[in-house]
Structure 1
Amino acid sequence: MENLSGNTRKTRIRYAMLALVFINVMINYLDRSNLSVAAATLSKDLNLSTVEMGLIFSAFGWTYAILQIPGGLLADKIGPRVLYALCLITWSVATLCQGFARGFVSLFGLRLATGAFEAPSYPINNRIVTSWFPNHERASAIALYVSGQFIGLAFFTPVLVTIQYYFGWKGLFVTTGLVGLLWGVIWYFLYRDPLEHPRVNQEELNYIQKGGGLIEGKKVAAGQPSIWKWENLKQVIANRNLWGVYIGQFAMNAMLWFFLTWFPTYLVQYRGLNFIKTGYLASIPFLAACAGLLLSGFVSDYLIRQGKSIGMARKTPIIIGLIVSASIVGANYSTGTAAIIFFMALAFFGAGMALISWVFVSILSPKHLIGLTGGVFNFMGNLASIVVPIVIGFLVKGGDFKPALIFIGTLGLIGACSYLFLVGKIEQVTAPTEPKEQELLSTSK
C-alpha cells in the first residue's frame, strides 16, 4: 500500500471506521428495541396476550440466532462494505413494514425478517475491528462500538416514546425504518477496508499489522480453501474454552434481552409508572450498562499494557460483571421507584462489563475462521433472545414479575461460573496440524 499522505506520522483512519460501526450498532439496537417501547399500546390495539407478546418479542431471536453461523460465514466471504449496506437496508424495510402489521401473524413474521437481516451484523463488526485494530487496542475498540447500543437506547428511548406518544406505534416503526434506510446508503459510500481506504498511510497499516490486526482480511482470498466445511464448524464448537465463553454470552444476553423486551412493560404494567416518565427512567440502566462496558474495556486494555496475562485482563472484568448482574433480584424487594431503578441500573452495569466478551472471538478463533467463530459465538449467546422473552411471558402471566427477575439473576451467576470453571488458558484454537500463535501463549488462567 502506497503511503498517500507523504509523511511518517501514522494516520488514525481506524477511529473513523470505528465511528461508522458505532452508528450501525445504534441503529441496529433501535430497531431491536422499538417493539418494547410500542408493546404496551400495541398489545392493547392488537389484543395480544402476555404469552403472545413473549412469542413476538422472541421472534427476532429465532432467525437472528439460527442465521448467526451463515452470517459469520458471509462475513468471512463478503466484504463488510457491501454486506453491511445490504443488511441495513433490508432490516430497515422490515422495520418500516411493522408499522402496518394487523395482528399476531404479520407482526411475528416481520420480526422474524428483521432478525434474519440483522444476523450478520455482529460478525461483520468483529471482522472490521480485527482488520482495523491491533490486539492491544481491540477490547477498547469493541467496548466503544458496543457502547453504541446503550448510548443509542439511553438517549433515543425518550425520543422513541415521544414519537409514539404523538404519532402512535405505527409512526414509531416507520420513523426508525426510514432512518436505517438512509444510513445504509451513507455506510456504503463511507466505509473501506484497510488496504482499500484512500486516506490511510503505510505507517498506520504497519502499526495495525505489527499489533496483530489482519489488514488483509477483508474476505476469503481467491484460491484459499473454502470455509464452508463441517470440519471448520467442528473446530469451533469442540473447544472447552469457547464453550465457556458461549455460556457466558448466553447469560449476559439474557439480561440484555430482558431490557430490550419486557423492561418498559415491567415499569408500566407491573410497577404502575407513567408511560412518558418510563421513557426517561428506562434510559438510566442503558447509561449504566454503557459505563460498565467502557470501564471494562479500558481497564482490560490497561491491564494488558501493564504486562498482566490475557487470561487475567480479559476474564476478570467479565466475571465481576456477571456476578454484579445478579443484583437485579434486589428489585423484587424494593417498593420505591428510585430503588427499583437503582437495582436495574446496577444489574445492567454488570452486564455491560461482560460485553467485552467479543474480544475472545478475536483471541481464540483460528485466523481464517474469525467470522465463523463469531457466528457460533453470537448464535449461542442469542439463543437467549429466543428463550428469555418466552420464559418471562409464561412466568408473569399470573401477574407476578418476581420469578422472572430471579430467573435472569440466576443466569448471571451461571455465566460467571462458566468463565471461572470452563474458560482456562487463553490460546488460539488451531487444527491438529496447525501451529499455535506463540504471541498469544503467554497467558494464564
Structure 2
Amino acid sequence: MLATEKKKNWFEDNRRWFIVGIIFLTIVFNYVDRQMVSILKPLLKEEFTLDDGGYAFIVNIFTICYAIMYPVSGWLVDKFGAGKIMLYSIILWSVACIGGGFSRTVAQFGFFRGLLGMAEPANFPAQLKTVTVWFSGRLRATANSLCVAGSSIGAIIAPPLIAWLTLQFNWQTAFIICGSVGLLIALLWKIIYRKPPVEVTKEVMQSEARDAGERFTWRQLWTTRSLWGILLIRFISDPVWYFCLFWLPGYLQEGSGLTLAQIGLFGWIPFLIADVGSIATSAWSDKMVRKGKQPLRARKIMLTATVAMAPLCALINYLPGAVSTLIVFSCIAVMALSWLVSLSVVVAEAFPMHNVASVLGIAGGFGALGAVLFNYYVGQVIGELGAGNIFMLMSVLHPLAALLLWTMVRREGNRQKDKEANRQESSEAATQRGIRQKAEGNQF
C-alpha cells in the first residue's frame, strides 16, 4: 500500500512532464499529417493532375482555414480550457487525415485538407496555455520548446515514415495510418490531462508577480502595442518555416534531383538540427532568466542572436548540390523554429495568463495569412522565374522581425494594472481633496 501511494505521489509530482510528453506526441503527428502533401507532392500532382499553381492552391486551402480558425481557437481555449479544446482538436484533425486517405477526387481531398486546417490550430494555444499555467518563467521556455519540438520531430520522421508507407503500400494508406495514431493520442490526453493543483497555480503566480484576476478584454487586447508587434512579427517570419515544411522536400526532389527514397533517407536532417537548435536556444534564454535577466528581455536577446543566420537564405540559389543545400537549410531551420517556439513564450511573458491563448491564436492567424500570401508567391515564381527571388526575400524577413520585437513588444499586463492603480489613486486623492475642501468650508 505504501509503495502504491509513493508511486501515485511521484506521478502527481511529475504529471506536468507527462502532459508535456503527450503534447509533444500530439504536435509530432500534427506535423506529420500536415507535411504529408509536401513529401508526396509529385505523386499528388500526378494523381490529381496538378501543376505548381494547383499544388499551391491545395496548400492554401489548408492554410486559409488554418489562418481563419487560429484566432477562434485561441478564444475557445481561454473560454473553455486547454484540456477540452485540445481533446476535440486531436480527434477532428485525425478524422480529417483519415478522410484524406479515402479521397478519390481533388474536391474531396481539398475538403479534408481544409478540415485539417480548421482542426489543427487549437493545438498551439492549448499547448501554450498548459505550459503557462503549469510552469514558471524559470522553466517555461524549456518546457515550451520540448512541446513544440514535436513540430520538427514530426518533420524529421515524416519523410522516412511517409516514404516507407507509400512505397510499401500506397499514399492513401499513409494518410489512414497516421490519422489513426492521432486517435490513440487523443485517448492518452483524456486519461492524463488535469488542471494544475492550487499549489502549482500559486507558485506560478508568485514567481511571475501576477494577479490571478488580471486580464484584458478582447477589445482591450487590440489597443496594446505589443499585440500589433507580435502580429507583424508572425506575419513576416512564419513564411520561412512554412517554406521549410511545404516546399523544401519538393524543392530537393525537383531542384536538387533527390528521389523519394533519398528524401526518406536525408530529408529529415534539417528538421533534426532545427529541433536540437531550438531547444538549445530556449534553454539559453531560461538560463539568462535564472541568472537574473528579465524574462522578456532574455527572449529578445536570444531571438536577435539567431537572426545572424538569415543572410544564408540569399546563398541557396547558388549552392552546388543537395548536400550544401541541406546544410544551409539546417541553419535557416534553426533560426525559423527558434522564432516560432520562443515567440509563444514572448506572448506568455508580455500578456496576462488569462489572455495568452487568445493572443497566440490571433498571432497564429496572422502568421498563417502571411504564409498564404507567401505560398501563392512561391507557386507563381518557382514556376515562371525560378527560386532566386524567393530566397532573397527570405533573407530579410527575420531581421525585420527582430527590429519589430525590440521596438513594439513589451510587458502589457502590469501596464494595465498600473494604469488602473493610478486611476484609483487619483480618484481617492480627489475624494480626499473634496473632503478637505468641504471641511475647510464648514470652518467658515
Q: Name the aligned partner's letter for residue 221 of structure 2.
A: V
- Structure 1 vs Structure 2 CA RMSD: 2.8
Tell me the residue number matched to 2:259: 274
CA deviations on 1:188-230 (whole Å, 9 max, x unpaired) are 11211113xxxxxx7656544432499x98xxxxxx99x9xxx
Tell me the residue number matched to 2:282: 297
TM norm structure 2: 0.86
Tell me the residue number matched to 2:15: 13
Percentage identity across paired residues of the two chains: 25
> Alignment partner for residue 71 of structure 1, among 47, 70, 73?
73
The equivalences for 1:34-49 within 5 A come to 34-49=36-51
Tell me the residue number matched to 1:392: 378
Residue 192 of structure 1 aligns to a residue whose secondary structure is coil
Distance 1:17 1:210 in 2: 22
Distance 2:10 2:168 in 1: 55
Distance 2:421 2:157 in 1: 47
CA contact (8 A) 2:19 2:193 kept: yes
CA deviations on 1:151-172 (whole Å, 9 max, x unpaired) are 2221342111111122222111
Distance 1:213 1:121 in 2: 27
Residues 191, 9 of structure 1: CA spacing in aligned structure 2 closer, same or farther, 3 A cutoff? closer
Tell me the residue number matched to 1:380: 366
CA contact (8 A) 1:151 1:286 kept: yes
Query: In the TM superposition, what is the alpha-carbon distance from 1:127 to its structure 2 partner?
Result: 0.9
CA contact (8 A) 1:135 1:213 kept: no
Q: Name the aligned partner's letter for residue 190 of structure 1.
A: I
Q: Name the aligned partner's letter for residue 384 of structure 2.
A: G
TM norm structure 1: 0.86
CA deviations on 1:378-399 (whole Å, 9 max, x unpaired) are 1222223322222110111126
The equivalences for 1:163-178 within 5 A come to 163-178=165-180
Residues 116, 37 of structure 1: CA spacing in aligned structure 2 closer, same or farther, 3 A cutoff? same
Residues 126, 268 of structure 1: CA spacing in aligned structure 2 closer, same or farther, 3 A cutoff? same
Larger radius of gyration between Structure 1 and Structure 2: 2
* Aligned: 1:98 with 2:100: yes
Tell me the residue number matched to 2:430: none
CA contact (8 A) 2:271 2:333 kept: yes
Residues 7, 233 of structure 1: CA spacing in aligned structure 2 closer, same or farther, 3 A cutoff? closer
Query: In the TM superposition, what is the alpha-carbon distance from 1:7 to its structure 2 partner?
Result: 8.5
Query: In the TM superposition, what is the alpha-carbon distance from 1:352 to its structure 2 partner?
Result: 2.3
CA contact (8 A) 1:11 1:204 kept: no
Distance 1:332 1:131 in 2: 44
Q: Name the aligned partner's letter for residue 207 of structure 2.
A: G
Tell me the residue number matched to 2:293: 308
CA deviations on 1:36-91 (whole Å, 9 max, x unpaired) are 11111111121101111011112222111111221111101223222211111111
* Aligned: 1:121 with 2:106: no
Residues 397, 135 of structure 1: CA spacing in aligned structure 2 closer, same or farther, 3 A cutoff? same
Tell me the residue number matched to 2:310: 325
CA contact (8 A) 2:22 2:188 kept: no
Residues 50, 7 of structure 1: CA spacing in aligned structure 2 closer, same or farther, 3 A cutoff? closer
How many pairs were matched up? Answer: 416
Which blocks of at least 5 consecutive residues in structure 2 are unaligned? Answer: 423-444
Tell me the residue number matched to 2:321: 336
Distance 1:184 1:385 in 2: 28
The equivalences for 1:163-242 within 5 A come to 163-195=165-197, 206-212=202-208, 232-242=217-227
Residues 123, 433 of structure 1: CA spacing in aligned structure 2 closer, same or farther, 3 A cutoff? same
CA contact (8 A) 1:366 1:429 kept: no
Tell me the residue number matched to 2:31: 29
Q: Name the aligned partner's letter for residue 345 of structure 2.
A: V
Q: Which moved more, 1:165-174 or 1:123-132?
A: 165-174
Where has structure 1 moved over 4 Å in runs of 4 or more?
4-10, 202-206, 424-429
CA deviations on 1:250-294 (whole Å, 9 max, x unpaired) are 333211111211111101112211211112322111012112211
Q: Name the aligned partner's letter for residue 150 of structure 1.
A: S
* Aligned: 1:352 with 2:352: no
Which blocks of at least 5 consecutive residues in structure 1 are unaligned? Answer: 196-201, 218-223, 437-445
* Aligned: 1:364 with 2:366: no
